[in-house]
Amino acid sequence: MLELIESHASFGGTQRIYKHASKAIGLPMRFSVFMPKEGSQKKVPALFYLAGLTCTEETFPIKAGAQRFAAQHGIALISPDTSPRGAGVPGETDAWDFGVGAGFYVDATREPWSKHYRMYSYVRDELRETALNELPIDGARLGIFGHSMGGHGALMLALRNPDIYRSVSAFAPIAAPMRCPWGEKAFSGYLGADREAWKQYDASELVGKAARKFAQGILVDQGLADQFLAEQLNPDLFEAACKAAGQPLTLRRHEGYDHGYFFISTFIEDHLAHHAKVLIG
């Protein structure tokens, strides 16, 4: 059962925040929904947006400016929180890049994280099923996108589940998390030392093993003034992996743009159009 926390009129539709008891996480979880006006009359396509480190379910709807373009296309936007809250794991708030606000969209297998830090199952299964059961969402027309840690999550979830997500894009994703400090810290903490187990969550490893190609392409935007580009993001590695796998990719590099939401809001219209082309035609 969904508990409505907030509701605001927005571009002819509504921007809402919901809370529910999550079985996958074992704790209450929140997510935001922009529902276009068409949702009052019929089921609509939906995009799941995964936010980055330190963010919440509110970050994307407040900062990205996506509602205007979602309303034009008649697409719903769904954005979950970035981790469990209140799990009580010792040390979960000690670092900004691990623990609270930094779930990395994996199912943790290492104690004590494995009980609650199950963001992969939450996003792929429970959040999606909740949206389909409780909201006017067309389950045959779903896409996924995200930013930074969430860009990693979007690429990874789409490549592992092309039967669920028909379209995918990312802003400045952590594109090869096994080969950067953020990913190594998260994966070793949540999954343990076995690097083979990490590969199931690394987009650059997964693209060559995907069950099918995204024939209409993957869109990735990357700012060249991004302070995390050199050490953490590795778009070149993902680009090379896509080329080797024959996966169409549009990787756009933008002079002067950094890692934040001014960058995202500049190019959000293009991402909505990319997804609409696939989900609506």
Give the integer Cα–Cα distance in Å for 118 and 107: 4
Annotation marks residue 148 as catalytic: yes
Determine which one of 116, 147, 259, 275 is catalytic: 259
Q: Which amino acid is at 179?
A: R
Catalytic residue flag (residue 221): no
Contact criterion met (CB below 8 Å) for 133 and 194: no
Buried-exposed string 121-153: b where 16+ CB fall within 10 A, e elsewhere: bbbbebbbebbeeebbbeeebbbbbbbbbbbbb
Of residues 81, 107, 202, 226, which has the active-site annotation?
Answer: 226
- Nearest 10 degrees: CA dihedral of 29, 228, 207, 110? -50
226 is catalytic: yes
Q: Are 197 and 109 in contact (CB under 8 A)?
A: yes
Numbers of helices and strands, H then E, in the chain: 10, 9
Question: What are the φ/ψ torsions at residue 277 (nearest 5 degrees)?
Answer: -60, -40
- Are 265 and 235 in contact, with CB atoms under 8 Å apart? no
- Residues near 140 by Cβ (< 8 Å), separated by ≥ 6? none
| Rounded-to-integer distance, Cα 69 and Cα 128, Å | 22
Catalytic residue among 148, 167, 169, 204: 148
Torsion of CA 212, 214, 215, 218, to 10 degrees: -150
Q: Which residues are catalytic?
A: 148, 226, 259
